[in-house]
Structure formats: C-alpha cells, structure tokens
Structure 1
Amino acid sequence: MKLHVRKHLLTCALLAGLGVVAQAQTPPPADAASGPSAERHHRHHAKHDPAKRAERIDKRLGELRQKLQVTPNQEAAWTSFANAMQPPAQRQRMDREALARMNTPDRIDHMRALRDQRNAEMDRRAEATKSFYGQLNAEQKKTFDDETSRLMRFGRGMGRHHHHG
C-alpha cells in the first residue's frame, strides 16, 4: 500500500515539475503589454502584495470577530488564532527560471520542500483554529462554521482568493 502511495506522489511531483517547466518556457503573447489579459495580470500581482494581503486578512478577521462577538474571556484565544492566520513573513516562492535549470530529481526535491513548508503553515493554522474553536460557545461555533464554510466554498481561505471563470 505504501509503495502505491509513493508511486502516486512521485508521479504527481514529476507531472507538476514538467508542467512548471513547460509553463516557464512558454513565451508571453506579443500583445501581453496591453488589453484585458494585461489588466488581469496586474490585478493578479496586486493580490500578491504582502501589505495588501495582510490588509485583506485583517479586514476578514475583524468582520469575523465582530460576528462572533468575542468575549473578554476569549480574547487570548482570539489573539492566538488571529496571529496564526497572518501570512508568514517570508514564504519561499517558486522561481520558475531556477526550476527550469534544475534536473528532475532536484526539481522534485525543491517542490517537496515548498509543499512541506506550505503543509506546515496549514497545520499551524489548523491547530490554532481548533484551539480557538474549542473556546467558543454553541452559538459562536455555528457562526464560525457558517462563516468559514462560506469562505471555503470556492477554495478561498482567510488570505486567498481564486477567481474561477
């Protein structure tokens, strides 16, 4: 069974690596400097501005805090939760040019390291969420469930927006 899972993970890593290399080698269209696709490109990069991302997260957390009506007894748990939801100060981003220069085993190792880093971030957030959730009363839990379900419905988290279509 473990061999089967390993084989799938290796296959996924190889396909992802090949996809990144193929995408990194695809030149942008000649008219990429103007028009709707350029506007989308600029909006996409604006979303990744760390200051704007932190601002969006703070806004969502403020709205959630208000809806939950956090009590003074829950303040410490809220603070821990809110701090855990903040993006890390330094997140290693995928350097497509560097990936294109790597051999396949190095590319797989690099992508594994990125995946492990993101998994550790997700685990940290998940534990903080569960800890905070345990401090809520039944009404607050329902509100929290409704709000986070709404955020997650389209693959959105506290700091992520993915527009489809």
Structure 2
Amino acid sequence: MISSRKNLLLAGLLASATFCSAGAFAQAPSAPGVPAAETQSHARPAAQHGHMDPAQRMERMQAHRAKRMADLKLVLQITPAQESAWQSFTAAQQQPARPAGAARFDRAEFAKLTTPQRLDRIQARQAERSAMFAKRAEATRNFYAALSPVQQKIFDVEAMHFAGHGRGGHMGHMGHAGNEAPAHDKG
C-alpha cells in the first residue's frame, strides 16, 4: 500500500509540475507600448546582483540600510527628545569601514597556516565580532529605553523583520506565503 501511495503522490507532483511549467510557456508578450529592451532592463539588475564588484555591493547595501533606517524612524515617529538616542543607535548600526591597508581574507594564506594558527585567527576574528555586537546591543538597549511603550511594541515587530525572522528566518524565501520552511516528510 505504501508504494502505491508513493506512486500516486509522485504522479500527482509530476502532473502539478507539468501544469505549472506550461504556464511559463504560455505567458502573454509584453505590453505593446513597452519595448522589449526596456522590460529586460528592469530584470537586468537582479540578474547581475551577484556579479557586482565589492564597492558597488557595499554602496548598494548602505543605500538599502539607510532606506530601512529612514523607514523605521518614520514608523516609530521619533520625537525631538529621542533624537540623540536615535543618532547613537543608528551610528552603532553602521558597518565599520575596513582600514585602507587591511587585506581581505586570503584562502591561500589561510591554507598555509597550521591548525593551531588557524584556530587563533578564527578566535581573534570572533572576538572582534563579539565586541562589535556588544556595542550594537548596548546602543539598541539604550535606544529601546528611550522609546515609549507603544514605540517599543512597534520596534519589537520591526526588529524581527530586520533580523529576517519576520519572513520565516533564513528560510523565508522558501516558504513565501506561509512564512515557514517546508516540512520534511519521513516515509
């Protein structure tokens, strides 16, 4: 019975996949007034998203972060009395700039190290990140204390979205509508 149930399920999934993929071929052409090149130009940045040089990527991330922070400030309705706490909070959230002479991670160099040397490097980097996190956490606590109870509730919800948990965490893209990761079937 189990094998026939699996076969039936597999056939249903295959039929669903075929039906869904048929829609991709039957898409309507772009609007007559919009040239094809123009519609492709909107898709191009997303396609090239992974091929940006590091400076472009950093610039894009900073612009995105600035927009999100501006939106958060609007939603929270920060008062003039809360402005200094807001400034401290946003300053602590900024990604520190890499010093001019600092090199990026070099895999070849890392591979030449002994295991204890690698562990020391990793531990030093973890200590740096932990210190940066402590700074951000303290600034967040101070800012949170300056908010009214209503603003705190709004911040609680918005902070979950910033962390990605409002969209199902790191698996948010997989569950889109339900905001949860798909369940794994054991059987």
TM bin, normalised by shorter chain, reads: 0.5 to 0.7
Contact kept? 2:160, 2:166, Cα under 8 Å: no
Unaligned ranges ≥5, structure 1: 1-37
CA deviations over 1:89-114 (Å, ceiling 9, x no partner):
11774322211111111111111111
2:39 aligned with 1:42? no
Contact kept? 1:47, 1:53, Cα under 8 Å: no
2:117 aligned with 1:106? yes
Report the equivalent of 1:67.
75
Write the mapping of 1:83-102 to structure 2, written as runs, cut at 5 A.
83-90=91-98, 93-102=104-113
Amino acid at match of 1:95: D
Write the mapping of 1:1-165 to structure 2, written as runs, cut at 5 A.
41-42=50-51, 49-90=57-98, 93-154=104-165
Number of residue pairs aligned between Structure 1 and Structure 2:
123
1:56 shift after superposition = 1.5
SS at match of 2:146: coil
Amino acid at match of 2:75: K
TM-score, normalised with respect to structure 2: 0.57
1:55 shift after superposition = 1.4
Report the equivalent of 1:28.
none
1:41 shift after superposition = 4.2
The structure with the largest alpha-carbon Rg is: 2
Higher RCO (Cα < 8 Å, 6 or more apart):
1
CA deviations over 1:47-90 (Å, ceiling 9, x no partner):
98322222121111101000000000000000000010100011
Paired-residue identity, %: 38
1:151 shift after superposition = 2.3
Amino acid at match of 1:67: V
Amino acid at match of 2:59: A
Amino acid at match of 2:69: L
Q: For 2:141 and 2:68, locate their aligned partners in 1 and report how far apart those are by CA, in whole Å.
A: 18
From the superposition, tell whether residues 113 and 164 of structure 1 become closer, same or farther in structure 2 (CA, over 3 Å): farther
Q: For 2:121 and 2:173, locate their aligned partners in 1 and report how far apart those are by CA, in whole Å.
A: 28
From the superposition, tell whether residues 137 and 59 of structure 1 become closer, same or farther in structure 2 (CA, over 3 Å): same
Unaligned ranges ≥5, structure 2: 1-46, 175-187
After superposition, the CA RMSD in angstroms is: 3.0
Q: For 1:64 and 1:40, locate their aligned partners in 2 and report how far apart those are by CA, in whole Å.
A: 25
Q: For 1:162 and 1:46, locate their aligned partners in 2 and report how far apart those are by CA, in whole Å.
A: 25
